[in-house]
Amino acid sequence: MLDVDGVPTLEDIGKNMPRRERLEQGFVAVHECFQDIPCNPCVEACPVGAVSMKTLTSTPVIDFDKCTGCGNCVASCPGLAIFLLSLKANHAQITIPYEMPDVPQKGDKVQGLDRYGQFVCDADVIRVVRLPSLDKSSKTTLITLEIPASELMTVRSFRRR
């Protein structure tokens, strides 16, 4: 619960979620950024103007119909608070920023974890890319996992097996 342990509930997150039809069209950015802090790299990083804020300390708003799922905002967010999601008939995909040195490779099997770091399900690494991070002098690794469709709202990190 946000005001108790800083972890958002599904009710908190649901307010920021795209409709199912958009998720089925392909990757779309979803944020779990709930604090009114002065931060806006996600706005600056978006090439199509899909992220906006009323003021520098507002939380971001993503226009899901404008978003192309490029991942620039995910790589630029210092709070690791943005993900890409997509939904297919039987499985979902999530793209997660990853800052640990032991980078998994495409084809690896990993364990999907929830927002508390608890095991949820096995997951397959289906894509590994590096995109420019906040200061543009370095890159952030983005890992895309394939998970059961039922865990779309649950898995938000992973660990190596």
Q: Which residues of the chain form contacts with ligand SF4 (CB under 6 A)?
A: 29, 31, 33, 39-42, 45-46, 48, 50-51, 60, 62, 67-73, 77, 79, 81-82
Minimum CB separation of residue 93 from ligand SF4 in Å reads: 14
Angle at 75 between CA 19 and CA 123, to 5 degrees: 65
| Count of other CB atoms within 10 angstroms of residue 118 | 8
Place of tokens 């894509």: 127
- CA dist 30 and 149 (Å) reads 16
- CA dist 29 and 114 (Å) reads 18
CA nearest neighbour of 116 among 72, 84, 156: 156
Place of tokens 């620039």: 72
What is the three-class DSSP state of 87?
A: strand
Minimum CB separation of residue 142 from ligand SF4 in Å reads: 10
What is the three-class DSSP state of 66?
A: coil
Minimum CB separation of residue 95 from ligand SF4 in Å reads: 9
Minimum CB separation of residue 160 from ligand SF4 in Å reads: 25
Minimum CB separation of residue 57 from ligand SF4 in Å reads: 9
Nearer to ligand SF4, 74 or 147 (CB): 74
Nearer to ligand SF4, 46 or 125 (CB): 46
Nearer to ligand SF4, 60 or 112 (CB): 60
Nearer to ligand SF4, 9 or 150 (CB): 9
Nearer to ligand SF4, 65 or 160 (CB): 65
